[in-house]
Amino acid sequence: MTEPLLRVRDLKTYFVTEHGSGTARAVDGVSFDLHAGETLGLVGESGCGKTVTSLSVLRLIPEPPGHIRPGSFIEFAGRNLLTLAPRELRAIRGNQIAMIFQEPMTSLNPVFTVGYQIAEAAIVHQRLSRRAARTRAIEMLKLVGIPDPAQGVDHYPHQMSGGMRQRVMIAMALVCHPKVLIADEPTTALDVTIQAQILELLERLQAELGMAIMLITHDLGVVAGSADRVVVMYAGQVVEQAPTPELFARPLHPYTEGLLASVPRLDAPPARARGRLHGIPGQVPAASDWPGGCRFHPRCPYAWDRCRDEEPPLLDAGAGEPGTHTVRCWLLTEPQRRTARAPLP
């Protein structure tokens, strides 16, 4: 296997809670790799720490109340992003690693034209002249499929629809041809037909430009269709990590299993279409109060004493090379404890 492009090790991002009394361990020891040209899906429900993870990569966590703990390590092109001087970090932001966000409405500045906002990163990083920047902005708008780019360049964000705005965000992120694109729930705020357009666009751009994509989403369907590998997060930790086909064929962590069983499916056979869903009982605990032992144990249908007392490490599931499929669950040591699941009460 080649050297990864982005290597995250033991990332811990904590927040001081509202009344300053507690600490929310939003991201608590997350490790994963992103390889050149691949799409890595980062899945989990709200409050599992996936967005904080993505923001931590570019150190966009608001400090205070947040801070990344010493000992965390995010390596990009041989350098630890967490110890870079602000100046060096800025040279990477938007230039080598770019981001797009969930809300294309609020993530664009309402008082500047989309052309200016797209070109700005190129003006800053590549010292483009105004004229060249404008030309570049038009090229980018054409690339992301905005009709009539020569006109669109002078439009303001509010004059565009949600889907068009997300295209502008993508154009803005890709203007310097970054090696990594972090997409934080890029289609959550959009309708399904528009979501399909954006996902197709990202796929096409990846084929054309060759960047690696870190796709953060709560939608298992989106991951299944777009990602090469999937990292499943729960309670600030990685609980399972595997290539996409492997993960969907053989979900080993009870949380992954439960997530898959929770979703009503369009491809379900008619016999199974109605009836009860086999989901996960309870809810995600608060980040200031993770349960001891395995953090999933209070909601886990298989939990036994060991799960309450001892936190499992990421164990290798033994598929292909070591590290291909890893799971944070004691069931891997005692597989006979996995029994048929009962439907939700």
Partner 1 sequence: MNVWNWLAVGGAAVLALVVVAEIRRRTGARASGRRFFRHPTAAPAVFVLAFFVTVALAAPLVTPYQPYFQIDIARLANHPPSTQNPLGTDPLSRDVWSRLVYGARISLGIGAIAMLVAVTTGVVVGGVAGYFRRWVDATLMRLVDVGLAMPRMFMLLMVVALWEHVPLAVLVLLIGLTGWFGTSRLVRAEVLSVREREFVAAARALGAEPGRVIFRHVLPNAAAPIIVSAALGIGNVMLLEAGLSFLGLGVPSPAPSWGNMIADGFPKMAVAPWCATFPGLAISLVVMALNAVGDALRDALDPRKETA
Partner 2 sequence: MAAWLVRRLAASIAIVWAVVTLTFLIVHLAHGSPCGQPDGLPVSPAICADLTRRFGLDKPISTQYYKYLGALLHGDLGWSIALQRPVAAALAEALPNTFALALTALILDFALGVALGVYQAARERRFGDIALGNVALFVNSMPTFWLVLCPQVHAFSCVADFAWHLTLPALTLGLVGAAGTARYQRAAMLEVVRQDFVRTARAKGLRERRVLLRHALRNALLPLITLFGLTFPFLLTGAVLVETVFAWPGMGRLAVTAILQRDYPIVTAAALVASVMVVLGNLLADALYGVADPRIRVRAT
Partner 3 sequence: MTSSAAALVDVQGLVKHFPGERGAFGLGRPRAVVRAVDDVSFAIASGQTLGLVGESGCGKSTVGRTILRLIEPDAGRVAIDGVNVLTLGGRELRALRRRMQIVFQDPYGSLNPRLTVRQTLAEPLAIHHLAAGADAGRRIAALLEEVGLDPGFAKSYAHELSGGQRQRVGIARALSVEPQFLVLDEPVSALDVSVQAQVLNLLADLQQRRRLTYLFIAHDLAVVKHVADHVAVMYLGKIVERAPGPQLYAAPRHPYTTSLLSAVPVPDPKAQRPRIVLTGDVPSPAQPPPGCPFHPRCPHPKKDARCRTEPPALREVAPGQLAACHYAEEPL
Which one-letter amino acid corresponds to residue 305?
A: D
124 lies in the site for partner 2, by CB under 8 A? yes
Closest approach, Cβ 135 to partner 1, in A, equals 42
Closest approach, Cβ 18 to partner 1, in A, equals 7
Contacts of 129 (CB under 8 A, 6+ apart): none
64 lies in the site for partner 1, by CB under 8 A? no
Radius of gyration of the chain (CA): 21
Contacted entry of partner 2, partner 3, partner 1, none for residue 310, CB cut-off 5 to 8 Å set by kind:
none
- Pick the closer one to partner 1 by CB: 10 or 18: 18
What whole-number distance in Å separates Cα of residue 263 and Cα of residue 138? 41
- Pick the closer one to partner 2 by CB: 117 or 195: 117
Which backbone phi and psi does 139 adopt, to 5 degrees? -55, -45
Whose CA is closest to 198, among 162, 149, 237? 162
DSSP code for 207: H
Across the chain, how many H-helices and E-strands are there?
Answer: 12, 13
Residues that bind partner 3 (CB under 8 A): 45-46, 161, 163-164, 191-197, 199-200, 218-225, 244-245, 248-249, 258-268, 270, 273-281, 283-284, 343-345
Query: Between 93 and 112, how does the x/- string for binding to partner 2 read (CB under 8 A)?
Result: xxx--xx-x-x--xxxxxxx
What's the first-to-final CA gap in the chain, in angstroms? 45
**Interface region with partner 1, contact rule CB under 8 A, candidates 18-26, 27-35, 173-181, 205-213:** 18-26
What whole-number distance in Å separates Cα of residue 97 and Cα of residue 100? 11
Do the beta carbons of residue 44 and residue 50 sit within 8 Å? yes
Q: Which of 2, 19, 111, 340 binds partner 1 (CB under 8 A)?
A: 19
What whole-number distance in Å separates Cα of residue 296 and Cα of residue 317? 18
- Pick the closer one to partner 3 by CB: 77 or 268: 268
18 lies in the site for partner 1, by CB under 8 A? yes
Closest approach, Cβ 59 to partner 1, in A, equals 23
CA 122 and chain centroid, separation: 25
Closest approach, Cβ 109 to partner 2, in A, equals 4
| DSSP string of 58-97, one letter each residue | TT-S-TTTEEEPTT-EEEETTEEGGGS-HHHHHHHBTTTE
- Pick the closer one to partner 2 by CB: 215 or 242: 215
The encoded tokens of residue 244 equal: 């996409």
Residues of the shown chain interacting with partner 1 in the complex, contacts defined by CB under 8 A: 18-20
Residues of the shown chain interacting with partner 2 in the complex, contacts defined by CB under 8 A: 55, 58, 60, 86, 89-95, 98-99, 101, 103, 106-113, 120-121, 124-125, 156, 158-159, 169, 172
